[in-house]
Amino acid sequence: MGRAPCCEKMGLKKGPWTPEEDQILISYIHKYGHGNWRALPKLAGLLRCGKSCRLRWINYLRPDIKRGNFTKEEEETIIELHQMLGNRWSAIAARLPGRTDNEIKNVWHTHLKKRLIINNNDDVIVQKSKRQRNHESYDDDNNIKIDDTKYDNDNNSNNDSLVVSSPPQSSSSYNSFISTDDQNFSETMDDQFWTEVFSSESDENDHNNHEFDFTLTNSNNNVDYDQDMEFWFNVFTRSADLPELLL
DNA sequence: AACAAACACAACCGCCGCAGG
DNA sequence: GCCTGCGGCGGTTGTGTTTGT
């Protein structure tokens, strides 16, 4: 038997904090600080355990917490740091001023993880949520349609994800399983950089399900596959200026 | 409009490492 | 060296909200 949970003690309250409790905690910490979390609730007159007080203060009440949605830059930083540090949320939070480990963890699990997965073959998988799968998605900035995807049936029989194979190191073409609306696709790609879209094929019985193989070339006509994960993430989430990525 | 499914996020749980006795 | 208490951390859950059917 492990140690009993601290909040199971008689009379200690659990669940969401009330504004009154918040105010008591804030006032106490402003006056006396939080030297001893275990003793704090009793001294402050709160029917909470020390852990609960600490969590509430660190994750919600602290004055230096930045509220609101994560910016694109913050999300990219999280992805980068997660590549380096793994699930060390507190270490990641330390590099994102105003954000808490809990918040970052939540964002990762609810947004980022579902959008970006590296499988055993080092393939980059951009996975769509079930809700996303039911809708057509457009990037507000460039109008690229990112729906109508062809899903990888071998690995994802439930059609949950879009698999992008690792770029070949010596081949002159990069085969992608990207499927998109060909008209939107060609309109948004700068011909100077994205010079060719070829061998497109579509299922005659399903006109919403197109598949393209395409070649990526930069302005010097040099194929450039050697991009890091962030690049591919940006490409498939349409969160960056695509042609500039190839410069 | 009602219900179900999916999402978002605050909060809890349990483990671990460290410090002090 | 061992035990205990505490803070900190990461995983998980609970619940309110949003979106889809």
Interatomic CA–C1' length for residue A196 and nucleotide B12, angstroms? 54
State, as a whole number of angstroms, the distance between the CA of A225 and the C1' of C20.
39
Give the pLDDT of residue A73: 86
Q: pLDDT tens, position by position, for chain A (247 residues)?
A: 333 345 545 568 888 899 999 999 999 998 888 888 988 998 899 989 889 999 999 999 988 888 888 888 888 888 888 888 888 999 999 989 889 999 999 988 888 876 664 444 444 444 444 444 433 333 333 332 333 333 333 333 333 334 433 332 222 222 222 223 332 332 233 322 232 222 222 233 333 332 222 233 333 333 333 344 444 444 444 433 333 333 2
Asked whether A180 and A128 are in contact (CB, 8 A), the reply is no
Q: Nearest residue to nucleotide B6 when comparing alpha carbons to its C1'?
A: A131
Residue A60 CB in 7 A reach of strand B: yes
pTM: 0.56
Instruction: Give the residue ranges with Cβ < 7 A from strand C.
Output: A 15, 36-39, 50-51, 54-55, 87-91, 101-102, 105-106, 109, 131, 134-135
Task: Answer for the pair A145, A185: CB distance below 8 angstroms, yes or no.
Answer: yes
Q: For A13-129, where are the alpha helices, taking DSSP H only?
A: 19-32, 40-44, 50-56, 72-85, 89-94, 101-107, 113-115
Give the span between the Cα atoms of A202 and A51, in whole angstroms.
57
Amino acid at A238: R
Nearest protein residue to nucleotide C21 (CA to C1' distance) is A134
Query: What is the Cβ-side half-sphere exposure of residue A140, based on CA atoms within 13 angstroms?
Result: 0
Q: What's the pLDDT tens digit per position in A11-63? A: 688 888 999 999 999 999 988 888 889 889 988 999 898 899 999 999 999 88
Nucleotide nearest to A60 (CA to C1'): B10
Angstrom distance, A36 CA to B20 C1': 15
Measure the CA–CA gap between A162 and A170, rounded to whole angstroms. Answer: 23
**Residue A122 to residues A116, A168, A235: CA-CA distances in angstroms?**
12, 12, 17
A229 CA – B19 C1', rounded, Å: 42
Q: Virtual CA dihedral for A151, A152, A155, A157, nearest 10 degrees? A: 40
Q: Please tell me whether residue A12 adopts helix, strand or coil conformation.
A: coil
Please name the residue that has the structure tokens 């808490």. A100
User: CB of A244 within 8 A of CB of A235?
Assistant: no
